Amino acid sequence: MQPKPLLPLLALLAAGVSACSQGRHSASGFRLPENGDPARGQMAFVALECHSCHQVKGAELPAVESRMKAPVVLGGQVPRTVTDGYLVSSVINPNYKLASYPPDEIAVEGKSRMPDYTDKITARQLTDVVAFLQAHYEVVRPSREYPVYY
């Protein structure tokens, strides 16, 4: 009796599926340098005028005229880890995934109000800004007594 070719077929399918998840848009292999410096990141945040639209929970930033009706708040308590990849994408590709704010406050015709920083921010600044922001997020697992809104 011939063995059924089901197993090799399944193996082939599995290989195909994992090849897809390794496509060029996969976050796999993405890693910022380990030497991001929160203090330098805060300086870059101010130099790039991020604070004209954002507050960062727990950070003292110089007062500036706000460019938003209500500043988009970064940092603070979140129900799950904010990844470096999410923050990098938010800064250099803000339309990829809009923050969870009322859309008419943060976007115009579906596009983020956040300016294009790809020509303005260096990789050094981006690494440091991410370290600065990460230092101000605190993961708090939501519970019935203590819900966290994000």
Residues forming contacts to ligand HEC in the complex (CB under 6 A) are: 45, 48-50, 52-54, 67-68, 72, 74, 87, 90-91, 94, 98-99, 101, 106, 112-115, 117, 121, 129
Tell me the closest approach of the beta carbon of residue 139 to ligand HEC, in angstroms: 14
Minimum Å gap between C-beta 123 and ligand HEC is 13
Q: CB 66 → ligand HEC: shortest distance, Å?
A: 9
- The CA distance from 142 to 11, in Å, is 39
Enter the tokens of residue 97. Answer: 């995934």
Residue with smaller CB distance to ligand HEC, 17 or 101: 101
Smallest gap from Cβ 138 to ligand HEC, in A, equals 14
Q: Residue 67, by phi and psi: left (phi above 0), alpha (psi -120 to 50) or beta?
A: alpha
For ligand HEC, the closer of residues 8 and 85 by Cβ is 85
- Both tokens of 113, joined, read 């109000």
Query: CA 150, CA 80: separation in Å to the nearest integer?
Result: 10
Tokens of 137: 């997020």
